[in-house]
Amino acid sequence: MDVPVAANVLGTIGAICWSIQLIPQIIINYRRHHAIGLQPGMMILWACAGVPLGVYNIVQDFNIALQVQPQILTFLSLVTWMQCYYYQRGRIVLQSLVVVLPLAIFMAGIEVTLIFSLRIAYRRHIDWPLTLMGVLAAVFLAAGVLTHYVDIYVHRTVRGISFLFVGIDAAGDLFSLISVFFQPKLDVLGMVTYGVELALWLGVFGCGGYFNLLPWLKRKGYLRAARKDEDVRTSATASENERAGGGANVDDVMIQDLPSSTSVFRTPSSDVELRRARSAGANREQPI
């Protein structure tokens, strides 16, 4: 197999996956005219990750697809972050552009400066600045995904995250990792950069199997013994609520019963927030 061709093909697939996993989110936000549930922190972290990742991939002379891939990530992440700023803060388009454009120009300037500087250092066999770029890229990418782990820990569920698009993102990491493996010179740090985010996404899938798939199997009767135990606990809880005389309110919404989100990276806490807002609006419309 021609190694450079394999690296280019796999890198191109990875870049495509990283592109299409954010484009649907941008379209969804535009169509529904809000970005409730989308985490701005993750978007800005991914935008920042594109700078050191782009520097590392270009200085290391990776295939063209892997050199372009971080630029796509930064651009789409900034567009999505601008939507959050526009919809969630009620800004006008001009105000949003005034915030995002200088940030994008600043990031581009930093990346170009670092590329030329680190190329000189690399030729002089000074490797630690380039190693730092690879580490920073891995840290920013991982930090973006870790924002979901916080919600999983708090709410004990992964509902609200689209597993389809998480899978596409993970596939992008996987193809990129394999592409680095097929480079003429094996780059361990480059593989770690993509591998860390891939491992975290696989962890999200694992949590989804535990918190989402198992309860679904119980409800469908595939795990009958477990379902009986759950029914007993549910009945006991319902009896206690009736004895306490407490009616259902918006704070009693079960996270597991929340509908699947149309947002690519929507969190369960945002669904509760949306229901509270709707309930408050309905109460204001009732006559006194």
pLDDT value of residue 288: 45
Structure-block tokens of residue 156: 């004990």
pLDDT value of residue 258: 41
Which residues lie below 8 Å from residue 13, measured CB to CB, with a gap of 6+? 171, 172, 175
What average pLDDT does the structure give for the chain?
77
Structure-block tokens of residue 33: 């005219």
pLDDT value of residue 175: 92
The Cα–Cα gap between 258 and 270 comes to: 11
Average pLDDT of span 267-274: 52
Average pLDDT of span 60-89: 85
Residue with tokens 């591998």, as numbered in its chain? 195
Cα Rg for the chain, rounded, in angstroms?
Answer: 23
Q: What are phi and psi of 261, to 5 degrees?
A: -85, 150
Average pLDDT of span 235-251: 53
- For 90, other C-beta atoms within 10 Å of its C-beta total 8
Alpha helices in the chain (DSSP H): 3-20, 23-32, 40-59, 64-88, 93-123, 128-155, 163-181, 188-208, 214-220, 224-244, 268-285
The Cα–Cα gap between 107 and 61 comes to: 20
pLDDT value of residue 136: 94
Cα-Cα-Cα-Cα dihedral sign, residues 65, 181, 107, 104: positive
Average pLDDT of span 42-46: 87
User: Are residues 11 and 62 in contact, defined by beta-carbon separation less than 8 angstroms?
Assistant: yes
pLDDT value of residue 165: 74
pLDDT tens, residue by residue, 182-238: 888 888 888 888 899 999 999 988 888 888 778 777 777 765 555 555 555 666 665
pLDDT value of residue 85: 75
pLDDT value of residue 111: 95
Amino acid at 136: L
Distances (CA, A) of 80 to 47, 96, 226: 10, 11, 42
Of 3-7, 60-64, 139-143, 262-266, minimum mean pLDDT range: 262-266
In angstroms, how far is CA 117 from the centroid of its own chain?
31
Q: Which range scores top for mean pLDDT: 30-44, 80-94, 173-187, 262-276?
A: 173-187
Q: Residue 96 pLDDT more than 80?
A: no
DSSP classification of residue 250: G
pTM (predicted TM-score): 0.69
Average pLDDT of span 49-55: 94
User: Are residues 212 and 254 in contact, defined by beta-carbon separation less than 8 angstroms?
Assistant: no
Distances (CA, A) of 55 to 100, 162, 265: 21, 30, 27
Cα-Cα-Cα-Cα dihedral sign, residues 209, 212, 214, 217: negative
Of 21-25, 34-38, 241-245, 280-284, minimum mean pLDDT range: 280-284
Structure-block tokens of residue 54: 């782009």
Residue with tokens 């990750």, as numbered in its chain? 49
Q: Residue 109 pLDDT more than 50?
A: yes
pLDDT value of residue 243: 57
The Cα–Cα gap between 66 and 196 comes to: 17
pLDDT value of residue 21: 76
Q: Residue 80 pLDDT more than 80?
A: yes
In angstroms, how far is CA 2 from the centroid of its own chain?
34
Domain spans in the chain, listed from the N-terminal domain onward: 4-219
The model's confidence at residue 252, banded by pLDDT at 50, 70 and 90, is very low
Helix, strand, or coil (residue 161)? strand
- pLDDT > 90 fraction of the chain, expressed in percent and rounded: 22
Q: Residue 284 pLDDT more than 50?
A: no
Average pLDDT of span 246-272: 45
pLDDT value of residue 147: 80
